[in-house]
Structure 1
Amino acid sequence: MDSLTTQRRKFLLGTGYGLGATALSTLLNPELVGTANAAAGASNPGLPQFPNFAPKAKRIIYLFMAGGPSHIDTFDYKPEMRKFHGQELPESVRQGQRLTGMTSGQSTFPCVAPMFNFERFGQHGTWVNKDILPYTSGIVDDITIIKSMHTEAVNHDPAITYINTGVQQQGKPALGSWLSYGLGSENDNMPAYIVMISRGRGQLQALYDRLWGSGFLPARHQGVKLRSSGEPVLYLNNPPGIDRQSRRSMLDGLNELNQVAYDKFADPETQARISQYEMAFRMQSEVPDLMAIEQEPQHVLDLYGDDVQKPGSFARNCLLARRMVQQGVRYVQLFHRGWDQHGSLPSKLRQQCKDIDQPAAALIKDLKQRGMLDDTLVVWGGEFGRTIYSQGKLTADNHGRDHHGRCFTIWMAGAGIKRGFEYGMTDDHSYNILNNTGVHIRDMNATILHQLGIDHEKLTFKFQGLDQRLTGVEEPAHVVHPILS
């Protein structure tokens, strides 16, 4: 083979790598072409077309109660429940609903009224369980309670995947990743999306990193999980014998190697890797200060309760969430585990609420007194609710409730959400939604995006031949305008 032929083949091979990979990346996502040559370590500015209109919210704190809080025992109280306590759930109410494997074998479905005392609070007389949510009862004039949420999912993994990513199947981006992709970050030294996890005292359902993953979006948009002990982020600190300047030099060399790989193959994940290395380096200067809650005045620490001093507690995470959004983090999601109460619900629910009641209310008060509630959206809720009928033997202290997706309750506050407002109506068994007031989880996500100035139908990413979006491509989603001020 002559040298000319060899050179020609090398040329065609080299150009083929670049042109083929570039063409593929263009087909997958045209946005990558415009950013392909962005400098390593550039900030995350989002897409130029967002927001589509003036936003009410700049940031979000999502308090996710993993496991499914009982709406019946917290907010969706009906005095009539006392009358049919112990009676069989009528088939006219159940309507052949799909049941989980945990109660499908039951021969009877006795209704069980809440084992707690409820009172009306606030200017509009909102029913709240005063026994276990005394602090939340004090903020009802600052929140909107939606009692008509619904989902098709009846088991934890598909349900929590559905509400976080818009589909029941694995592999799609989480809400926070969509926001990072569309709106970017306000702080170059911090990720746009941060996750923290606390552990309750009830039955713990598994949480997977894919719940805050970026799916088919570039990897730099995935959520960063902060650990409750040791280094907040693994390998964030310099190892012994390595100072910051040495690390900078090593990172520069690594970025050069990654850039060579990108120039040859045009793999967008290579650019994402460069960006993540740079973000980790910049986080070194900001994360330690953010985690130092001892900088807070004592009256603020007291507001969140004694547990704020415990690393990894929900109280501490609520305070950290406020500190993070104050420093420009776009989206903070707190997962609190332990709400899956299939047995001993009265005692376990009391324990769970003790963990979250004061801190959640404190977060609203803290944001409000700083003037931040006007442009910070706070969401509280889980993946579904619980059934009116008892799981297991019906006793005063040992009954449980199964999963229920036909209706459940969340609350929202701040950033253009009405204050002191309730939306949605359920029947006397808190089992079915009435008067066409249902709010599907797709509608909730569309509303969240709307408050951030995003038309949910325009925030898309080309994948598998479809313009994918958080609110799905098969069923319509609607902004819940009645809850907006």
Structure 2
Amino acid sequence: MGRFLPDRRQLLKSASAGFGYLAMSALLANQVRSEQVTPSSPPGHLAPRKPHFSAKAKRVIFLFMQGAISQMDTWEYKPELQARDGQSGPGGGKLMASRYKFAQHGETGTWVSELHPHLAKHVDKFCWLRGLHTDTPAHPQAVIQLHTGAAIASLTRPSMGSWLLYGLGTENQDLPGYITINPPPNFGGSVNYGSAFLPAHYQGTRINDAGYLPNLEAQTPITLQRRQLDLIQSMNKDLASRPHAPSAIDGVISSYELAFRMQSKVPELLDISKEPEHVQKAYGIKDGPAGSFARQCLMARRLSEAGVRFVEICHPGWDQHNNLHRGLTNNCQAVDQPAAALLADLESRGLLEDTLVLFGSEFGRLPSAQGPDGRDHNITGYPMWLAGAGVKPGFTLGATDDVGQFAVEGKMHTNDLHATLLALMGLDHESLTYEYGGREFRLTDVAGQVAREIFA
């Protein structure tokens, strides 16, 4: 038997990149699957794809208020709750009236508390979902379910942003199609923007509220970096061409190329200091933690305008079991002006016509008191609002009872919310599936009803 003499490429693979190949093989061994792509889709995993049916919404901005807003102190005016302050509530405990003044706003006469003077000016744009309910009154499970549809948090599922990217691709090939700004590190962490068993190029890209993305600036000259990447990619493509090669290797190739292109695009896009002074003033831009959400809102507009399919921004700290009134006042001051400015900015640029904005928490809070100054979790009835593309402005679906504890009309489970959001983007939640582990998965699992009543 003759002695085997490796050629130059084989020697490079086994010596300089051998360990990487071994690691990649281990990582991809469990990811062999067939990715379903719409037949009419153009080549490329992240290329724009045709929706299942025509839709006005092309992109989503999700304003996530992590911790659960007290709805009866912000969006849900309940005269009965005010009248029964201190009496026994339907689920036990003593009812606690809101200390905040409510007033009617807009042509719709929508009741809004004094905590949201800026957003109150936009109520005629809002499409209310007031009969929401979910399964688990614990933050980790509820946050994960809101983001992935999984009622059992240990069963990791792709996030809704990943499903949207999988179904529709992205409008800008030089940017990630899914970006999450300031996501909470706990309550599931990266699970909430991960792609799970979907290929890795559908996962969210995390940045902080200052627009920082790790390892974005090249440490080597761009020409040398391109040569290094070409070498790595030639190996990746060689692996991809082999029989029975893991399909996920194509995602690795795409991700590397996207990261290379992002170096020249993302830093300028996230630099909000280039915005005119009047725009920064409208959002309330300031340094430090107090300006976090304002910066996120402005970045969200810039990213959406540039073609990012799904942007999520987050304001944490709404879990007021105690210190309710100080905490709620501070939180609302932080989000009210920037969120209102985002809506106005999108509208003035013509972007609200094809951008869907969602505002809400993982669940709500009870009408009864918890201690001297707090409210506990409520999963049986709470609101969210939508604005923009595809929804009826000034419309309300659903309602809670007289004190705001239970959904009694237009009940809408988290699965129904997901089915409706996908439909507003032109996707049939029952058809948007992915085969993994011998079965087909979808964001809504085996449930979900589309609330077509809210469609414009």
Conservation of the 8 A alpha-carbon contact between 1:148 and 1:426:
yes
Aligned: 1:185 with 2:170: yes
State the secondary structure of the residue aligned to 1:373: coil
**Shift in Å, 1:243:** 0.9
Conservation of the 8 A alpha-carbon contact between 1:66 and 1:335:
yes
Match of 1:138 in 2: 121
Alpha-carbon distance in structure 2 between the residues aligned to 1:349 and 1:124: 25
Match of 1:249 in 2: 227
Conservation of the 8 A alpha-carbon contact between 2:240 and 2:249:
yes
State the secondary structure of the residue aligned to 2:141: helix
- Read off the aligned partner of 2:148 and give its amino acid letter: T
Aligned: 1:297 with 2:276: yes
State the secondary structure of the residue aligned to 1:236: coil
Match of 1:16 in 2: none
Match of 2:199 in 1: 218
**Shift in Å, 1:448:** 1.1
Aligned: 1:29 with 2:44: no
State the secondary structure of the residue aligned to 2:71: coil
Conservation of the 8 A alpha-carbon contact between 1:205 and 1:337:
no
Conservation of the 8 A alpha-carbon contact between 2:32 and 2:248:
no
Aligned: 1:119 with 2:119: no
- Read off the aligned partner of 2:47 and give its amino acid letter: P
State the secondary structure of the residue aligned to 2:353: helix
Alpha-carbon distance in structure 1 between the residues aligned to 2:207 and 2:388: 25
Aligned: 1:481 with 2:452: yes
- Distance 1:450-1:198 versus aligned 2 partners, 3 A rule: closer
- Distance 1:311-1:291 versus aligned 2 partners, 3 A rule: farther
State the secondary structure of the residue aligned to 1:167: coil
1:186-212 residue CA offsets vs partner (Å, 9 max, x unmatched): 10100110000178xxxx964501110
1:242-270 residue CA offsets vs partner (Å, 9 max, x unmatched): 11111111111111222233344612232
Match of 1:233 in 2: 213
- Distance 1:263-1:32 versus aligned 2 partners, 3 A rule: farther
Conservation of the 8 A alpha-carbon contact between 1:56 and 1:451:
yes
- Distance 1:306-1:232 versus aligned 2 partners, 3 A rule: closer
- Read off the aligned partner of 2:339 and give its amino acid letter: A
State the secondary structure of the residue aligned to 2:116: coil
State the secondary structure of the residue aligned to 1:374: coil
- Superposition RMSD on alpha carbons, in Å? 2.4
1:169-223 residue CA offsets vs partner (Å, 9 max, x unmatched): 2410001101111110110100110000178xxxx96450111000110011000
- Read off the aligned partner of 1:31 and give its amino acid letter: Q
Q: How does 1:168-183 map to 2 (within 5 A)?
A: 168=151, 169=153, 170-183=155-168
Aligned: 1:410 with 2:384: yes
- Distance 1:308-1:315 versus aligned 2 partners, 3 A rule: farther
Aligned: 1:357 with 2:328: no
- Read off the aligned partner of 2:195 and give its amino acid letter: S
1:322-363 residue CA offsets vs partner (Å, 9 max, x unmatched): 111111111101121111111010110011111100111111
Size of the aligned set, in residue pairs, is 425
Match of 1:72 in 2: 72
State the secondary structure of the residue aligned to 2:403: coil
- Distance 1:33-1:159 versus aligned 2 partners, 3 A rule: closer
1:99-131 residue CA offsets vs partner (Å, 9 max, x unmatched): xxxxxxxxx61111111111111112111012x
Match of 1:151 in 2: 134
Conservation of the 8 A alpha-carbon contact between 1:150 and 1:441:
yes
**Shift in Å, 1:308:** 7.2
- Distance 1:232-1:306 versus aligned 2 partners, 3 A rule: closer
Conservation of the 8 A alpha-carbon contact between 1:198 and 1:312:
no
Q: How does 1:442-481 map to 2 (within 5 A)?
A: 442-473=415-446, 475=447, 477-481=448-452
Which of 144, 162, 165 in structure 1 is aligned with 2:145? Answer: 162
- Distance 1:178-1:370 versus aligned 2 partners, 3 A rule: same
1:368-402 residue CA offsets vs partner (Å, 9 max, x unmatched): 1111111100000010000111112x3xxxx1111
**Shift in Å, 1:46:** 5.2
State the secondary structure of the residue aligned to 1:54: coil
Q: How does 1:419-434 map to 2 (within 5 A)?
A: 419-434=393-408
1:415-439 residue CA offsets vs partner (Å, 9 max, x unmatched): 021112222111111011223x111
- Distance 1:312-1:251 versus aligned 2 partners, 3 A rule: farther
**Shift in Å, 1:144:** 1.2
**Shift in Å, 1:233:** 1.9
Provide the TM-score with structure 1 as the length reference.
Answer: 0.83
Task: State, as a whole percentage, how many aligned pairs show the same letter.
Answer: 39
Alpha-carbon distance in structure 2 between the residues aligned to 1:430 and 1:189: 46
Which of 307, 312, 321 in structure 2 is aligned with 1:342? Answer: 321
Conservation of the 8 A alpha-carbon contact between 2:207 and 2:213:
yes
